[in-house]
């Protein structure tokens, strides 16, 4: 696992849950969800996560402007992020793997962090874009920074001892954290009154 | 079967004749009847929907069905819980001499499979016809 890159400059744009519309991107608030008793809520949360991820390419220009980064015309031309908003078959590996790490991390918090009951607890999600220095490219690399905050007991997924899956003895659990490690370009954990997990996904990520 | 061939056998038949060994052949036919469960999934196979699939595994177990073809062409999202459920099903069927065969994984799900080295665990097929053949 590579060391998490140092975050140089992060610009956060957050989304207001009530006005769930990409044209209404809000600043200064973050998506904070209170977990209700009935776990049908998970279905809802998954839908939110899915929309969020599918909308990331849409958000990109606004986030870049906010962070003072010029848009990269080459990327738009090649469409490396896939078609914005397309959630059906054919949507890009980038969106798929971003959705997957977000869902795995969120469900981990709800199922394990808040075990036995997640009722009334909160999970906060915010996404930003940042520039990361990279010795191999003179202009560095850009990536999404996805941050999840929760008040469950301390759990540091970067310290989980991961063994590679064995094709001869396939296991039935433990894929979630493994996927997060494999599909992110950087993983950073802090505990400041709650769990704070930052996951970095480069826009030109080769992972997933 | 005396004197009769079908086209699949005709070449061999001619070869046998040419060698002058015999023009007589006996074919013993064995029929093995196996029950194959066939399932098609659509949508998302994740923590929300996977329990339904686990119920199907139990149903198959109670009916003695150990060979299952699972069509995943229309599954557009697969997460860790979905993967665990597939592995559990595969283990259940293989323990009883059967198998779980997956058809038509989409490219994103396939890349996750490769990441987990599960493409070496499961038999993956492009079509249901191919999957049915080897049982």
Residue B132 has pLDDT above 70, yes or no: yes
- HEC assignment per residue over chain A: CCCCCCCCCEEEEEECCCCCCCCCEECCCCEEEECCCCCCHHHHHHHHHHHHHHHHHHHHHHHHHHCCCCCCHHHHHHCCCCCCCCCCCCCCHHHHHHHHHHHHHHHHHHHHHCCCCCCCCEEEEEEEEEEEEECCEEEEEEEEEEEEEECCCCCCHHHCCCCCCCCCCCCCCCHHHHHHHHHCCEEEEEECCCEEEEEEEECCCCCC
* pLDDT at A115 (0 to 100): 81
Cβ neighbours for B49, distance < 8 A, ≥ 6 positions apart: B43, B82
Nearest residue of B to residue A94 by CA position?
Answer: B108
Closest Cα in chain B, distance from residue A28 (Å): 31
Cβ atoms of B82 and B45 closer than 8 Å: yes
Residue B16 has pLDDT above 50, yes or no: no
Residue carrying the six token digits 């199907």: B56
pTM to 2 decimal places? 0.72
d(CA A125, CA A108): 14
B69-92 confidence digits (pLDDT tens) = 999 998 888 999 999 999 999 999
Q: What ipTM was reported for this prediction?
A: 0.71
Cβ neighbours for A71, distance < 8 A, ≥ 6 positions apart: A60, A61, A64, A65
Of the partner residues B48, B83, B120, the one whose CB lies closest to the CB of residue A175? B83
* pLDDT at A156 (0 to 100): 92
What is the full per-residue pLDDT of chain A (208 aa) written as tens digits?
444 444 333 433 333 232 223 222 333 235 566 665 554 555 555 566 666 666 666 666 666 666 666 665 544 433 344 443 333 333 467 778 888 888 899 888 888 888 877 777 777 777 666 777 777 776 667 777 788 888 899 999 989 888 888 888 888 888 899 999 999 988 889 998 899 998 888 877 766 5
Q: Which of A203, A179, A44 is nearest to B109 (CA)?
A: A179
* pLDDT at A114 (0 to 100): 85
* pLDDT at A80 (0 to 100): 41
Nearest residue of A to residue B75 by CA position?
Answer: A89
**Cβ-based burial of B36 (10 A; exposed 0-12, middle 13-18, buried ≥19):** middle
Confidence band, pLDDT 50/70/90 cuts, at residue B104: very high
* pLDDT at A59 (0 to 100): 63
Q: Between A144 and B127, name the one with better pLDDT.
A: B127
Residue carrying the six token digits 């400041």: A192
Question: CB atoms < 10 A from the CB of B61, how many?
Answer: 14
d(CA A125, CA A122): 10
A99 touches chain B (CB under 8 A): yes
Of the partner residues B48, B115, B121, the one whose CB lies closest to the CB of residue A170? B121
Nearest residue of B to residue A176 by CA position?
Answer: B80
A58 touches chain B (CB under 8 A): no
B18-65 confidence digits (pLDDT tens) = 333 444 555 566 666 678 888 888 888 888 788 889 988 998 899 888
**Measured between beta carbons, which residues in chain B are less than 8 angstroms from residue A183?**
115
d(CA A193, CA A153): 10
- Show the tokens assigned to A36: 């209700």
d(CA A95, CA A70): 22
Question: What count of Cα atoms within 13 Å lies in the side-chain half-sphere of residue A32?
Answer: 9
């Amino acid at each position: 696992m590579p060391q998490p890159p140092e975050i140089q400059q992060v610009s956060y744009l957050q989304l207001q849950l009530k006005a769930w519309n990409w044209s209404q991107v809000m600043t200064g608030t973050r998506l904070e969800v209170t977990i209700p008793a009935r776990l049908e809520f998970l279905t809802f949360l998954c839908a939110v996560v899915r929309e969020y991820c599918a909308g990331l390419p849409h958000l990109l220009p606004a986030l870049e402007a906010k962070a003072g980064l010029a848009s990269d015309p080459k990327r738009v031309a090649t469409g490396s992020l896939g078609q914005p908003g397309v959630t059906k078959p054919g949507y890009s590996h980038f969106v798929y793997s971003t959705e997957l790490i977000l869902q795995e991390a969120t469900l981990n918090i709800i199922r394990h962090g808040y075990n036995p009951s997640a009722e009334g607890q909160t999970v906060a999600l915010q996404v930003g874009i940042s520039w990361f220095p990279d010795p191999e490219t003179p202009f560095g690399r850009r990536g999404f920074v996805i941050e999840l905050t929760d008040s469950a007991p301390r759990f540091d997924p970067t310290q989980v001892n991961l063994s590679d899956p064995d094709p001869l003895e396939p296991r039935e659990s433990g894929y979630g954290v493994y996927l997060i490690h494999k599909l992110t370009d950087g993983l950073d954990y802090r505990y400041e009154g709650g769990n704070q997990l930052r996951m970095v996904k480069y826009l030109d990520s080769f992972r997933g | 079967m005396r004197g009769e061939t079908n086209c699949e056998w005709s070449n061999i038949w001619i070869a046998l004749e040419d060698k002058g060994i015999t023009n007589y052949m006996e074919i013993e036919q064995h029929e093995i009847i196996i029950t194959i469960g066939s399932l098609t999934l659509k949508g998302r196979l994740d923590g929300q929907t996977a329990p339904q699939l686990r119920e199907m595994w139990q149903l198959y177990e109670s009916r003695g069905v150990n060979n299952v073809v699972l069509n995943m062409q229309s599954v557009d999202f697969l997460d860790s819980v979905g993967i665990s459920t597939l592995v559990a099903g595969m283990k259940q069927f293989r323990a009883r001499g059967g198998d779980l065969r997956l058809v038509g994984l989409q490219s994103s799900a396939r890349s996750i499979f490769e990441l987990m080295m599960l493409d070496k665990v499961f038999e993956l097929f492009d079509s249901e016809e191919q999957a049915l053949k080897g049982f």
